């Protein structure tokens, strides 16, 4: 996760974060250049704003890298023609700053004798960078990755060899990483290390491979082994040695045979990108929460000076904004107005001036309605804050300050992982503002910190405990022709988003309402068996939603409820229950409670024979008005 600001002073402190692809090849004979090129093409779905490869030849590191898609960089630099039997490669998805050659991987140390590629986030890179610069190292990029090359360089001065130098460097890192190193003085090996970011090793004959994902080496070998967190591996052409980072102790690891086709492997073994992306959320939410505090501060400062604040977006991004309004009001005691971008200027243009701040949320950063509204606000003198998944997008160029949500490319047209990441960043911004305004106590702040730490487990726990249950609910309701989603308080946003997912993927008319409002009109629709889905965490709205469930029950609606594990009031009134974790802080519930609704929408689309990755009439980025 990273943030960029338009202020030059802040730009120099920027950090690169990414969801990239890394690869490595070590051979007995032949050239790794063409194999690296092929593996990077297969990993291009992980990122595609810049590419680079490095090999070791005659005691020197050869390196080629540049911005652009792989095809473009290949025709310019002929990266596939690099010679050498040992090499590493990288395809980047920048989430920090416009992609540049300087920030492209591989990165090297001062002497160019160590090269590294990285997927993940080094959280403590700022302090490491300061220490390294104080020791005389010269860093050339703005990435977090480059510090690791210099850390290894520093360790190599102790004459301990590459493996030990990498191991000691890894012990100093906090964050998430899959790193692969080559060294001019030890040309026969690649050393890699993993924590939280994916890394898999392909075991060949007279050749070994590493990659972020299996498709990278699938045409060459189907024998693979997985590195676990806090493990490292040393690859030579005829051996793979797995070790624990902490102790250096060698670990026995059985290889397995990959049965997947290349296409299935590209989807991580899932039948669709959407399902893969739903399951990525424990990681992408964690990455979203890794936003550097300094950049949250920049946004909070702009917000604290504003006399009027709008949250601007379309579709799913708008629902993240709706949820965030509860956070801004309850934590920071600040009124913010969420607005659908296409209505913004007509509804509020007359109120926008230089004291207005418009916090704009757009996964793609290219949605035409959103950009038009932003330009309208800019013309009236407003400050523009941007939250997006695509660095270098138009939104980043129009924003005075922007933050990347670090979700990696989202291939499914329906937004899933980008919704939870957007909301996670928005709630962090609200909390930062609250701290600045002294509107939250330390006990509450601690509760949020604990909640943030638990979110990945809550999501993965829900996925594993509810997937079969949701599939059963889908089967039972697959003949229904319309659905209604109801929630109160912050769960209104969850209901809105659950409804959008179902509607856009299953082509079923669906309704979402604040539950309290349903008796003012919607209730006339309800008849026996009409499916109503209640989002009912045990927050301050809980006692009221029980009454709404009863209203629907009295009209013989078919009630499906999302309730906490210890629920004893809504669950008994429900025909189907989706059990959610207990004690999720109310303002974090959208991140967890949306997950089964994403699964429900996915399941309905598949059951009806529709392709959830490509719903009809929709585009991933809507660039028309």
Residue 143 found at the interface with ligand F6R (CB under 6 A) = no
CB of 384 to ligand F6R, least distance (A): 14
- Report the C-alpha gap between 81 and 74 in whole angstroms: 9
Listed residue (89, 467, 42) closest to 261, CA to CA: 42
Q: What's the chain's length in residues?
A: 625
Least distance (Å) between residue 555 CB and ligand F6R: 30
Looking at the Cβ atoms of 430 and 601, the one nearer to ligand F6R is 601
Q: Which of 20, 192, 237, 321 is catalytic?
A: 20
- In the complex with ligand F6R, the residue whose CB is nearer, 132 or 421, is 421
Q: Which residues in 410-449 contact ligand F6R (CB under 6 A)?
A: 414-415
| Coil vs helix vs strand at 158 | coil
Q: For the window 74-113, what string marks contact with ligand F6R as x by the rule CB under 6 A?
A: ----------------------------------------
The full DSSP string for 77-136 is H-GGG---SEEEEEEE-B-SSS--TTTSSPEE-TTS-EEEEEEEEETTHHHHHHHHHHTT
Closer Cβ to ligand F6R, 40 or 274, answer by number: 274
Span from 179-187, 309-317, 342-350, 517-525 in contact with ligand F6R (CB under 6 A): 309-317
> Residue 57: which residues within 8 A CB-CB, separation 6 or more?
83, 84, 187
Of 95, 317, 399, 574, which one interacts with ligand F6R (CB under 6 A)? Answer: 317
Name the residue nearer to ligand F6R (CB basis): 281 or 370: 370
Using only the alpha carbons of the chain, give its radius of gyration: 25
Interface region with ligand F6R, contact rule CB under 6 A, candidates 180-188, 219-227, 364-372, 506-514: 364-372
Q: Which stretch binds ligand F6R (CB under 6 A): 160-168, 356-364, 556-564, 605-613?
A: 356-364
**Per CB under 6 A, which region of 82-90, 314-322, 348-356, 507-515 contacts ligand F6R?**
314-322
Which CB, 315 or 487, lies closer to ligand F6R? 315
Which DSSP category does 395 fall into?
A: H
Residue (337 or 621) nearer to ligand F6R, CB? 621
Distance CA 145, CA 102 (A): 12
The residue range among 23-31, 203-211, 308-316, 345-353 that interacts with ligand F6R, by the rule CB under 6 A, is: 308-316
Least Cβ distance, residue 347 to ligand F6R (angstroms):
18
Q: Cα 315 vs. chain centroid, distance in angstroms?
A: 18
Handedness of CA 83, 87, 92, 98 (dihedral sign): negative
Interaction between residue 622 and ligand F6R (CB under 6 A): yes
Query: What is the spatial order of strands in the sheet that 107-108 belongs to?
Result: 107-108, 114-122, 175-183, 190-195, 231-236, 239-244, 250-251
Name the pairing type of β-strands 239-244 and 401-404: unpaired
Within 8 A by CB and 6+ apart from 166, the residues are 152, 155, 179, 181, 191, 193, 232
Is-catalytic flag, 110?
Answer: no
Which of 436, 519, 608, 620 is an active site residue? 620
Per-residue b or e along 262-276, where b marks 16 or more CB atoms closer than 10 Å to that residue's CB: eebbbbbeeebbbbb
List, in sequence order, every beta strand (DSSP E) within 188-307.
190-195, 200-203, 207-211, 223-226, 231-236, 239-244, 250-251, 256-257
**Residue 342: helix, strand or coil by DSSP?**
helix
**241 burial type by CB count under 10 A (0-12 exposed, 13-18 middle, 19+ buried):** middle
CB of 386 to ligand F6R, least distance (A): 11
- Within residues 500-529, the interface with ligand F6R by CB under 6 A covers 500, 504
Residue of 211, 314, 559, 595 that binds ligand F6R (CB under 6 A): 314
Q: Which of 24, 120, 187, 315 binds ligand F6R (CB under 6 A)?
A: 315
* Token pair recorded at residue 216: 């990278």
Q: Which is nearer to ligand F6R, 375 or 437 (CB)?
A: 375
# residues near ligand F6R by CB under 6 A? 15
Of the pair 260, 610, the CB lying nearest ligand F6R is at 610
Q: Which residues contact 477 (CB under 8 A, 6 or more apart)?
A: 483, 531, 558, 560, 604
Three-state secondary-structure class, residue 423: helix
Choosing from 83, 342, 465, 621, the residue that interacts with ligand F6R (CB under 6 A) is: 621
Q: Does 370 bind ligand F6R (CB under 6 A)?
A: yes
Binding mask 225-264 for ligand F6R (x = CB under 6 A): ----------------------------------------
CB of 387 to ligand F6R, least distance (A): 9
| Residues binding ligand F6R (CB under 6 A) | 314-317, 362-364, 367, 370, 414-415, 500, 504, 621-622
**What are the catalytic residues?**
20, 620
């Amino acid at each position: 996760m990273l943030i960029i600001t338009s202020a030059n002073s802040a730009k120099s402190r920027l950090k690169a974060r990414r969801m990239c692809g890394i690869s490595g090849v070590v051979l007995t004979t032949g050239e790794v250049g063409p194999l690296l090129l092929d593996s990077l093409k297969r990993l291009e779905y992980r990122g595609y704003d810049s590419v680079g490869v490095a090999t070791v030849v005659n005691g020197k590191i050869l390196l080629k890298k540049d911005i652009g898609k792989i095809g473009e960089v290949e025709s310019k630099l002929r990266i596939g023609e690099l010679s050498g039997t040992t090499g590493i490669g990288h395809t980047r998805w920048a989430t920090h700053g416009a992609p540049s050659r300087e920030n492209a991987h591989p990165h090297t140390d001062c002497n160019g004798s160590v090269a590294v590629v990285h997927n993940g986030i080094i959280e403590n890179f700022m302090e490491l960078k300061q220490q390294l610069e104080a020791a005389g190292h010269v860093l050339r990029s703005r990435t977090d990755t480059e510090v690791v090359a210099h850390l290894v360089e520093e360790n190599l001065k102790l004459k301990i060899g590459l493996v030990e130098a990498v191991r000691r460097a890894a012990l100093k890192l906090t964050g998430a990483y899959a790193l692969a190193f080559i060294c001019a003085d030890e040309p026969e090996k690649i050393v890699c290390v993993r924590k939280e970011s994916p890394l898999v090793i392909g075991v060949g004959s007279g050749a070994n491979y590493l990659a972020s994902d299996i498709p990278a080496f699938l045409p060459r070998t189907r024998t693979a082994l997985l590195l676990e967190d806090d493990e490292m591996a040393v690859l030579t052409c005829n051996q793979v040695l797995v070790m624990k980072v902490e102790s250096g102790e060698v670990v026995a690891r059985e290889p397995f045979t990959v049965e997947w086709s290349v296409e299935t492997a590209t989807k991580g073994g899932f039948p669709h990108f959407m399902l893969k992306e739903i399951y990525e959320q424990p990681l992408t939410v964690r990455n979203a929460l890794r936003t550097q505090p300094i950049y949250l501060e920049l946004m909070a400062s702009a917000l604290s000076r504003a006399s009027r604040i709008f949250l601007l977006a379309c579709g799913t991004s708008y629902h993240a904004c709706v949820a965030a309004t509860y956070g801004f009001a309850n934590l920071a005691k600040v009124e913010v107005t969420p607005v659908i971008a296409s209505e913004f200027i007509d509804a509020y243009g007359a109120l926008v001036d230089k004291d207005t701040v418009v916090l704009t949320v757009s996964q793609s950063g290219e949605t035409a309605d959103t950009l038009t509204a932003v330009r309208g606000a800019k013309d009236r003198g407003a400050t523009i804050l941007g939250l997006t998944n695509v660095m270098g997008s138009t939104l980043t160029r129009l924003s005075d300050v922007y933050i990347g949500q670090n979700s990696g490319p989202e291939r499914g047209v329906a937004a899933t992982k980008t919704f939870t990441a957007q909301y996670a960043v928005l709630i962090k911004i609200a909390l930062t503002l609250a701290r600045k305004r002294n509107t939250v106590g330390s006990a509450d702040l601690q509760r949020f910190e604990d909640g943030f730490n638990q979110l990945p487990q809550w999501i993965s726990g829900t996925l594993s405990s509810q997937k079969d249950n949701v599939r059963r609910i889908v089967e039972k309701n697959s003949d229904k022709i319309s659905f209604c989603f109801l929630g109160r308080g912050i769960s209104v946003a969850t209901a809105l988003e659950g409804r959008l997912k179902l509607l856009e993927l299953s082509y079923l008319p669906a309704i979402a309402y604040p539950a309290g409002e349903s008796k003012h009109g919607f209730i006339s629709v309800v008849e026996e068996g009409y499916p109503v889905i209640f989002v009912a965490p045990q927050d301050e709205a809980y006692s009221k939603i029980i009454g709404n469930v009863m209203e629907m029950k009295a009209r013989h609606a078919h009630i499906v409820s999302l309730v906490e594990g210890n629920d004893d009031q809504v669950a008994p009134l429900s025909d189907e229950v989706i059990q959610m974790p207990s004690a999720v802080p109310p303002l974090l519930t959208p991140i967890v409670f949306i997950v089964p609704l994403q699964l429900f929408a996915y399941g309905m689309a598949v059951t009806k024979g529709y392709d959830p990755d490509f719903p009809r009439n929709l585009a991933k980025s809507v660039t028309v008005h």
